[in-house]
């Protein structure tokens, strides 16, 4: 088993909170992590009809255990949360229940209503480059990384992306999406998801999305929220503090996993990514997703933004720390070029003293120092930023 960065945080929080909830996309490894870290706990999956029937029949009896209890896909029995609340209030023992769930919107709604102050929330995304780097599964080339994606089963079972992603997406639509009341036309939703992939790394334009899919603006907005809540996409918000310039206020759209995005774009092999018209957006999405994983897998909230003014000047990523803003440009080229730093140079003139460090992440492998900042290869990006930011 590949060690997950989140394991240490999950174990620590279970020593402080009576309930730990691990959410994330379907097949990101939540169950495997929970059962590995809490190996002496009882385990129940509510995707099993027998276990679900036991819960619904007598929740109190189901929850009373001598050992701790892992409840997988806990959102399938919302009634259970109030019973957990009663039990942990009666005996406030740390690490009593470990909950996992794939549907963020449903699981967290129940948690916030019944277990506020009693539960620690964590998010597990697919493998990070950092997690794979020290294993036999380490990705060799940038096109391979983008095309293959990072879902654990692809690596554990050596499944070709072209064989795995269609099944994964069909399961996601038929099980996670079908259960949501505001999704009526699944075929239209599939097309909408594909249209989102075609806009990877771009500013969100709901009117354009709606027109291309033949749906209303409000439907496009609602469906985008569904994709967010089920960990398919995330929206990177613009950073606009302390600037007098007219700035873009709409977010940018990224996929948590570029392998899934490639499938939706009908990219059938890694070689096609060398010249694909969306190579830049796919590479940018992979890099930003790695930064998100770095934070979430340590139990930290995202501190990432982008910056763009009305004239089109842009910095792909702004990392907001306690005492500084760190600009990062992301380039899918494999050869270093000075103009990679042009956006950063413009931004630094406006930002003044807040810009202490600057980086360009590119699809090459060599790291080097430039007068405008540091050039970092994609393979080493999180390690370099961990040491320097």
Q: Given this model, what pLDDT does residue 184 score?
A: 78
151 and 21 within one domain: no
Residue 106 has pLDDT above 60, yes or no: no
Residue 167 has pLDDT above 70, yes or no: yes
Residue 92 has pLDDT above 90, yes or no: no
Distance of alpha carbon 269 from the chain centroid: 23
Q: Given this model, what pLDDT does residue 113 score?
A: 74
243 and 133 within one domain: yes
Bridge pairing between strands 304-308 and 314-320 = antiparallel
Whether 208 is in a domain gets the answer: yes
- Here the tokens at position 31 are 């169950």
245 and 341 within one domain: no
250: Cα within 13 Å, side-chain hemisphere: 11
117 and 188 within one domain: no
Residue 107 has pLDDT above 70, yes or no: no
Q: Given this model, what pLDDT does residue 284 score?
A: 98
Residue 28 has pLDDT above 90, yes or no: yes
CATH of residue 45: 3.40.50.300
Bridge pairing between strands 69-72 and 42-45 = parallel
186 and 56 within one domain: no
114 and 18 within one domain: yes
CATH of residue 358: 3.40.1350
90 and 34 within one domain: yes
Whether 286 is in a domain gets the answer: no
- Cα separation, 251 vs 201, in Å, equals 10
Residue 283 has pLDDT above 80, yes or no: yes
- Cα separation, 251 vs 238, in Å, equals 6
188 and 109 within one domain: no
Residue 61 has pLDDT above 80, yes or no: yes
Whether 296 is in a domain gets the answer: no
| Alpha-helix residue ranges (DSSP H) falling in 198-341 | 206-213, 217-229, 258-264, 279-296
Cβ atoms of 30 and 70 within 8 Å: the answer is no
Whether 336 is in a domain gets the answer: yes
176 and 73 within one domain: no
Whether 299 is in a domain gets the answer: no
12 and 77 within one domain: yes
Strand partners, 203: 252
Cβ atoms of 122 and 146 within 8 Å: the answer is no
Helices 6-14 & 30-37 angle (0-180, nearest 10): 50
Question: pTM of this prediction?
Answer: 0.93
Q: Is 23 helix (H, G, I), strand (E, B) or coil?
A: strand
Q: Considering only 214-228, 275-289, 349-363, which range has the smallest mean pLDDT?
A: 349-363
Of the two residues 192 and 176, the one the predictor is more confident about is 192
163 and 210 within one domain: yes
Q: Quote the domain boundaries for residue 179.
A: 129-278
Cα angle for residues 8, 121, 109 (degrees, 5° grid): 160
Burial class (CB in 10 A: 0-12, 13-18, 19+), 25: buried
Residue 323 has pLDDT above 90, yes or no: no
116 and 134 within one domain: no
DSSP conformation class of 302: -
Residue 349 has pLDDT above 70, yes or no: yes
Q: Given this model, what pLDDT does residue 65 score?
A: 86
Question: What would the pLDDT profile of 37-58 be if each residue is shown by its tens digit?
Answer: 999 999 999 999 999 999 999 9
Number of domains in the chain: 3
- Here the tokens at position 153 are 């089963």
Residue 355 has pLDDT above 90, yes or no: no
DSSP conformation class of 126: S
Of the two residues 242 and 377, the one the predictor is more confident about is 377
Q: Given this model, what pLDDT does residue 245 score?
A: 63
What mean pLDDT is reported for the chain? 90
- DSSP track, 178-217: TTSTT---HHHHHHHHHHHHTTTTSB--HHHHHHHHT--H
């Amino acid at each position: 088993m590949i060690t997950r960065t989140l394991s240490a945080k999950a174990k620590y929080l279970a020593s402080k909170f009576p309930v730990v909830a691990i959410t994330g996309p379907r097949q990101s490894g939540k169950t495997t992590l929970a059962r590995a870290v809490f190996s002496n706990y009882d385990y129940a999956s509510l995707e099993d009809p027998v276990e679900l029937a036991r819960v619904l029949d007598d929740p109190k009896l189901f929850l009373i255990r001598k050992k701790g209890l892992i409840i997988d896909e806990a959102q399938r029995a919302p009634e259970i949360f109030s019973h957990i609340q009663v039990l942990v209030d009666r005996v406030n023992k740390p690490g009593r229940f470990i909950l996992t769930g794939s549907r963020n919107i449903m699981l967290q709604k129940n948690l916030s209503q019944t277990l506020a102050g009693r539960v620690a929330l964590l998010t597990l995304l697919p493998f990070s480059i950092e997690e794979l780097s020290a294993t036999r599964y380490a990705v060799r080339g940038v096109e391979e990384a983008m095309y293959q994606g990072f879902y654990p089963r692809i690596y554990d079972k050596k499944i070709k992306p072209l064989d795995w992603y269609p099944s994964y997406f069909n399961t996601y639509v038929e099980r996670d999406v079908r259960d949501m009341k505001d999704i009526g036309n699944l075929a239209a939703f599939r097309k909408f998801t594909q249209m989102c992939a075609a806009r990877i790394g771009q500013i969100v334009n709901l009117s354009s999305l709606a027109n291309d899919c033949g749906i209303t603006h409000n439907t496009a907005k609602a469906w985008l929220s569904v994709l967010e809540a089920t960990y398919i996409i995330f929206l990177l918000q613009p950073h606009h503090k302390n600037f007098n310039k007219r700035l873009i206020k709409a977010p940018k759209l990224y996929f948590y996993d570029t392998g899934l995005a490639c499938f939706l774009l009908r990219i059938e092999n890694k070689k096609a990514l060398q010249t694909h018209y969306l190579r830049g957006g796919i590479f940018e999405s992979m890099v930003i997703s790695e930064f998100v994983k770095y934070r979430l897998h340590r139990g930290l909230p995202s501190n990432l933004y982008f910056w763009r003014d009305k004239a089109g000047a842009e910095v792909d990523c702004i990392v907001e720390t306690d005492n500084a803003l760190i600009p990062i440009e992301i380039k899918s080229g494999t050869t270093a070029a000075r103009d990679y730093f042009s956006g950063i140079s413009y931004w630094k003139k406006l930002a003044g003293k807040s810009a202490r460090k600057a980086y360009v992440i590119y699809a090459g492998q060599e790291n080097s120092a430039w007068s405008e900042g540091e050039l970092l290869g994609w393979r080493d990006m999180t390690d370099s930023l961990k040491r320097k930011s």
